[in-house]
C-alpha cells in the first residue's frame, strides 16, 4: 500500500504528525490504534520506498519504522532521509523485534537514529518514547486509552476460563494491555492473524530449501512480531529460537513452527468467535437496527475522528443491512479494515450523496 492518513482531534494534547512504517498490517494496526488516542495525525506506509514518498509529501514530525522490510529496509530508508536536506532532521524511532535490538542499535547509530524500541513493547513505553522523540515533556504525554469496563473485563476472563486449554497459546490479558483495553481492535487483530501467520509459515520450507537466508530471517522476524502482538507467546518464542539457528539446521524446526502456527491460529479464531458478541453488546437485531443512512452518518462522524469504533460500526452495518448496502460499501469496509480512515471517509461521503433508495 502507498500510505493512509487520518486525523484525530483531542483537546489538551499536543498534535503531531507521525508516520508508522511496517510491512505487516498487524504491527501497523497496533501502533495506529494506540497512537490514535493521543490526538495525533497519523500516516502509514508498508515499506521504506513508500515511506520516502510520504515523508517528502507530508513532512511528518516523527517516523516509527521497522528495520527489516522488503523493497527498502529501515536502514536504507533512514539513510536516504538523512541524505536529503529537506528531510535530514526528521526524528525516527526504530521499532524492531527484541532479539534484534542490539543489532538495531548499531544500525541506528550508523544512520543517525537516536531511539530504538523493542517489538513488542508495553503501551506506556511506546508513548513515553514517542514524547521523548517529539521533544515533549512527560507532562504532555498522550493519555493511555481508557481501560475497558470492569463488566467487560469480567466477561472476557469468564470466556478465557471457559475455553481453557483451547486458547492456552494466548496470553489474552497481556495482549489486551498492549491494545490499551480496546477490545474491537484486539478482535480485529485476532481475526487477521490466522491468514497472515499461515501465509508466512507456508513460505518457510521453500525458502529454507533454496538457501534464502535473508528471506527466511525476514519471515521468522515477521511471524514473531505478529504472534507477540496477539499474545501468542509460545509461537513468538519458537520463532525467535528458529532465528538463532543456522540455516542448515533450521529444517528440523520447521515442523514445530508449522504446528505452533496452526495451534495459535486455531486459538485466535476460537477466541475471536467468543469475543465478537462483546463488541456489539446492545443485542439489537435487524428489526430494531438504526436505518442505513443513520448508521452511515454515524460512521462518517467516527471516521472524521479516526475513531476505532468505526470497525465495529462498519461490521454492524453489514449484519443489519446485508441486502441494502450499495456496491461501494465493499470498498469502504476494506478501507476501514485497513485503518485507512481517510479513504473510507471519502467513500462514505460518496455513498451519502447518492439518492436514497
Domain 4-140 bears CATH identifier 3.40.50.2300: yes
Give the H or E element holding residue 20: strand 17-21
SS3 content of the chain, % helix, strand, coil (to 5): 60, 10, 30
Q: What is the pLDDT of residue 100?
A: 62
Burial classification of residue 225, based on how many CB atoms lie within 10 Å of its CB (0-12 exposed, 13-18 middle, 19 or more buried): buried
Please provide the CATH number assigned to the domain covering 150-278: 1.20.120
pLDDT of residue 101: 66
- The predicted pLDDT at position 24 comes to 82
pLDDT recorded at residue 261 = 94
- Whole-angstrom distance, CA of residue 226 vs CA of residue 205: 19
User: What stretches of 244-328 show up as alpha helix (H) in DSSP?
Assistant: 251-275, 292-304, 309-320
Say what the pLDDT of residue 148 is: 67
Report the pLDDT value the prediction gives residue 49, as an integer from 0 to 100.
94
**3-class SS letters over 66-129:** CCCCCCCCHHHHHHHHHHCCCCCCCEEEEEEEHHHHHHHHHHHHHHCCCEEEEECCCHHHHHHH
The confidence score (pLDDT) of residue 328 equals: 94
Return the bridge partners of 65, or none: 21, 94
What are the residue boundaries of the structural domains of the chain, listed by start? 4-140, 150-278, 292-352
Q: Cis peptide leading into 120, omega within 30 of 0?
A: yes
Q: What angle do CA 190, 192, 193 make, to 5 degrees?
A: 65
The residues of the chain scoring below 50 in pLDDT are 1-13, 283-287
Terminal Cα-to-Cα distance of the chain (whole angstroms):
34
Amino acid at each position: 500500500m502507498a500510505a493512509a492518513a487520518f486525523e484525530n482531534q483531542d483537546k489538551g494534547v499536543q498534535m503531531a504528525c507521525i508516520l508508522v512504517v511496517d510491512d505487516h498490517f498487524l504491527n501497523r494496526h497496533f501502533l495506529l490504534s494506540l497512537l490514535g488516542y493521543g490526538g495525533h495525525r497519523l500516516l502509514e506506509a508498508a515499506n521504506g520506498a513508500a515511506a520516502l514518498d510520504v515523508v517528502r509529501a507530508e513532512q511528518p514530525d516523527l517516523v516509527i519504522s521497522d528495520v527489516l522490510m522488503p523493497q527498502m529496509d529501515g536502514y536504507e530508508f533512514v539513510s536516504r532521509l538523512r541524505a536529503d536536506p529537506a528531510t535530514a532532521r526528521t526524528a525516527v524511532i526504530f521499532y524492531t523485534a527484541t532479539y534484534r535490538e542490539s543489532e538495531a542499535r548499531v544500525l541506528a547509530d550508523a544512520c543517525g537514529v537516536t531511539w530504538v524500541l523493542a517489538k513488542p513493547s508495553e503501551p506506556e513505553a511506546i508513548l513515553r518514547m514517542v514524547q521523548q522523540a517529539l521533544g515533549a515533556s512527560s507532562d504532555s504525554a498522550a493519555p493511555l486509552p481508557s481501560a475497558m469496563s470492569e463488566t467487560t473485563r469480567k466477561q472476557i476472563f469468564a470466556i478465557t476460563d471457559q475455553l481453557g486449554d483451547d486458547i492456552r497459546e494466548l496470553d489474552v490479558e497481556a495482549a489486551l494491555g498492549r491494545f490499551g483495553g480496546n477490545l474491537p481492535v484486539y478482535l480485529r487483530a485476532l481475526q487477521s492473524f490466522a491468514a497472515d501467520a499461515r501465509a508466512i509459515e507456508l513460505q518457510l520450507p521453500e525458502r529454507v530449501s533454496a538457501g534464502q537466508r535473508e528471506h527466511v530471517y525476514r519471515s521468522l522476524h515477521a511471524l514473531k512480531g505478529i504472534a507477540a502482538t496477539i499474545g501468542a507467546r509460545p509461537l513468538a518464542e519458537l520463532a525467535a529460537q528458529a532465528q538463532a539457528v543456522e540455516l542448515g539446521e533450521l529444517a528440523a524446526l520447521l515442523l514445530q513452527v508449522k504446528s505452533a502456527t496452526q495451534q495459535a491460529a486455531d486459538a485466535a479464531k476460537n477466541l475471536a468467535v467468543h469475543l465478537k458478541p462483546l463488541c456489539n453488546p446492545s443485542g439489537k437485531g435487524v428489526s430494531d437496527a438504526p436505518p442505513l443512512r443513520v448508521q452511515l452518518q454515524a460512521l462518517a462522524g467516527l471516521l472524521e475522528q479516526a475513531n476505532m469504533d468505526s470497525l465495529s460500526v462498519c461490521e454492524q452495518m453489514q449484519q443489519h443491512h446485508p441486502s441494502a448496502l450499495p456496491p461501494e460499501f465493499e470498498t469502504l469496509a476494506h478501507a476501514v479494515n485497513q485503518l485507512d480512515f481517510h479513504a473510507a471517509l471519502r467513500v462514505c461521503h460518496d455513498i451519502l450523496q447518492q439518492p436514497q433508495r
